[in-house]
Structure 1
Amino acid sequence: MEMDNIVSLTDENGNEVRFEFLDLVEYDGGEYVVLLPEGDDSGEVVILKLIETGDEETYAGVEDEEILHEVFQRFKEKYKDQFDFVDE
């Protein structure tokens, strides 16, 4: 099994959480990762902002709903032929 697209992150409680890396989306001068929680069948993705400090990369939550919406719209447009998106 190919595991190059699996990202392990530590949550606020110190637990390791694994995600499938789906894409890196550029928006408004920032870069955002689109992740799918491993083992989660809901199909909901997680969008985090990529922060580079020196030669380290970290991720931060995004609380701005407009940014989340725009990043997800770009992701949906790019992958409209590969995924079945459900609008709610």
Structure 2
Amino acid sequence: MSEEYGPDFISITDEDGNEFELEHVDTIEHKGQVYMAFFPADTDESEEENDEEESGLIILKVVEENGEEQLSTLDSEEELEEVYDRFMEDLFREEEGNEGE
């Protein structure tokens, strides 16, 4: 979807049955794996105060299960750090490119 139409939102359900709405920020491929970055779309101020850690960038990977693409958490802290760094590099590269406009 083109950005001129606004941000992309998805709803996901965690293993406990809690539903969350997320705003898609970016998608990258890293070491042959596709990763997607999101921000929480609906943050309550009270939730934000109690759970500041949860209101940051959320990175999930695309996995195929039973022939269907699904989003999954990352397997390790090292994988998360590598992919987070890649998203940040891309974000800063985009911002630097936009400064001259």
TM over 0.5: yes
Aligned to 2:36: 33
Structure 2 partner of 1:85: none
Query: Does 2:69 correspond to 1:57?
Result: yes
Please list every run of at least 4 consecutive aligned residues from structure 1 whose deviation after the TM superposition is greater than 4 angstroms.
none
SS state at 1:63 partner: coil
Task: State TM-score, norm by structure 2.
Answer: 0.67
- By percentage of residues, which structure has more strand? 1
2:88 to 52, 76, 80: 76
Question: What corresponds to 1:9 in structure 2?
Answer: 12
Deviation at 1:52, TM superposition (A): 2.9
Name 2:21's counterpart in structure 1. 18
User: Match of 2:11, SS?
Assistant: strand
Residue in structure 2 matched with residue 44 of structure 1 by the alignment: 56
Unaligned runs of 5+ in 2: 97-101
Is the 8 Å Cα contact of residues 7 and 23 (structure 2) preserved in structure 1?
Answer: no
Greater helix content: 2
SS at match of 1:13: coil
Compute the TM-score of the two structures, normalised by the length of structure 1.
0.76
Identical positions, percent: 35
The structure whose Rg is larger is 2
